[in-house]
Amino acid sequence: MTKLLHKPLKAFAIYSLVILLVSIPVYFLVIDYIWISELDENNWLTLQHTRENLQNKSYSEEELKEISSIWGDLHPGVSLTKLNEKPSFQDSVFEAVRPNVFDVDDGEDRFRGLISYIELNGNYYRISVETNVEESDETVFAIAVVTFLFFIVLVGGFMVLNRAIASKTWKPFYLTLERLKDFNLSKDQSINLPESDILEFQEMNHSLRSLLNNNVDVYRLQKSFTENASHELQTPIALLKSKMDLLFQEKGLSPETLSLLEDIQAPLSRLSRINKNLLVLAKVENFQLSEKEELDVYGFIQTSQILFEDYLKEKNILLEVKVENSIEIVSNSFLLETLIYNLFSNAIRHSPKDSSIQIVLKKDLLSFSNSGEKELDSQHLFERFSTSSAEKISSGLGLSIVKEIVKQNNWEIHYKFLKSFHVFELRFPNSKFLPNPS
């Protein structure tokens, strides 16, 4: 994953490299043009100086031959050649590639020359002046080395400047990000976002404040409604259940009436369970169960095992408990009891008759596994009123309560489907291992 701050740096580095690579031939062409222009000017000045000296002094034909011979020995780049006919008297520039007599081992060199004509003592002579041009491969290599050195300096400067500017410019953004990470809607807290003189960050913080404030208001209304509705429902539900019990005790009820009462009792039991779980969920979300103590997880498993013994016998479910070691955690006893109870109840409810349930306790892991036919929808499994069971008495809140308890205690819970078994794995980080209780 690439950080946002590194994106422009990478683009700048690639852009700089491309520009510098393109600049190498451009530098060479510019330098070569300047060098050739200077050589042409130097050759022309040498030619003019030579022409004036030859014309201002009277040399015999023998002396001119001697001068040409001496020039050829001392300076091969300048020559004086007698012509047999009258030339067109047009100066010309030429380039030649041939071995350098002064540096035979260097191979062929490039020469830039100028040819002109002069009349001396009634005869016509050709004057040639040429100069060695700087070797192109050496020039290109030197330019490339210098270019890459500057590229390294340029990229290093980009990195230093990017880090210096980013540490100051992006500081409000990272502060906002940290405070958003620490923000918890269920803790009923306000968020204080840092101020910034950057317009984009100001607009972002303004939008975040509005969004969070609206969500906090909605959450408070929803929480208040849930609490009030649950409390208000307790009394009429209890009254209905007592009246139902009285009706069941009446004598002389017809079978049709008993069947009708039983049909009423099932949804009433589910309504009672939903109301109870909503109250538990509200207490958990409001941090009303904050008292903590050191608890032995295996002890709570044993208690739940006794509690669900009749349900296991009713469905003929084989329970297997494997304990390598117990775990000591710091939590609220009611929350841990509710957590294990709901996982145990969920395993029994979703297990068919004549099946098996396995509970494993080892290291920092507690897992519940029960038989099943197909995988559950893991994306919505822990949502409220989301249930994959046809069991009408299920409230649809058990796993939601489990998820909220796990979240508040910084534990971890995962669901997976392995070898026709639903597996819920609960991990307790920073827990203390206890010896095998058996």
pLDDT in tens, 239-270: 887 887 888 777 777 888 888 878 787 777 77
User: Could you say which DSSP state residue 187 is in?
Assistant: G
Provide the CATH number for the domain formed by 199-284 in this structure.
1.10.287.130
| Cβ neighbours, 10 Å, residue 196 | 19
pLDDT in tens, 264-304: 877 777 777 777 777 777 777 666 666 788 999 999 999 99
Residue-level pLDDT at 285: 67
Token pair 């350098």 is at which residue?
100
Question: Could you give the residue range(s) of every CATH 3.30.565.10 domain in the chain?
Answer: 291-434
Question: Could you give the residue range(s) of every CATH 1.10.287.130 domain in the chain?
Answer: 199-284
What are φ and ψ of residue 47, in 5° steps? -65, -45
Q: Which amino acid is at 386?
A: S
Residue-level pLDDT at 392: 43
Residue-level pLDDT at 357: 92
- Cα end-to-end span (Å), the chain: 48
Is CATH 3.30.450 what the domain over 6-155 is classified as, yes or no?
A: yes
CA 143 to centroid of chain Cα atoms: 39
H or E segment to which residue 274 belongs:
helix 255-285
Residue-level pLDDT at 137: 66
Residue-level pLDDT at 390: 47
pLDDT in tens, 338-360: 889 989 988 998 888 889 999 99
Residue-level pLDDT at 425: 92
Residues in the chain where the model's pLDDT stays below 70? 1-7, 71-77, 89, 99-107, 134-137, 185-189, 226-227, 229-231, 285-290, 384-396, 436-438
Residue-level pLDDT at 100: 64
Residue 376 CA to residue 415 CA, distance in Å, equals 9
- DSSP secondary structure letters along 5-32: THHHHHHHHHHHHHHHHHHHHHHHHHHH
Residue 354 CA to residue 318 CA, distance in Å, equals 7
Residue-level pLDDT at 203: 87
CA distances from 324 to 141, 298, 359, 436 (A): 71, 11, 11, 6
Strands (E), 134-214: none
Give me the helices (H) in 170-198, please.
Answer: 171-182
Whether 133 contacts 109, CB under 8 Å: yes
Question: Could you give the residue range(s) of every CATH 3.30.450 domain in the chain?
Answer: 6-155
In CATH, the architecture of 291-434 is 2-Layer Sandwich (3.30)
Tokens representing residue 128 in the block: 């040639």
Residue-level pLDDT at 94: 79
Token pair 């109250």 is at which residue?
279
| Cβ neighbours, 10 Å, residue 347 | 24
> To 5 degrees, how large is the angle CA 227–CA 230–CA 232?
105
Q: What is the pTM of this model?
A: 0.49
Residue 236 CA to residue 238 CA, distance in Å, equals 5
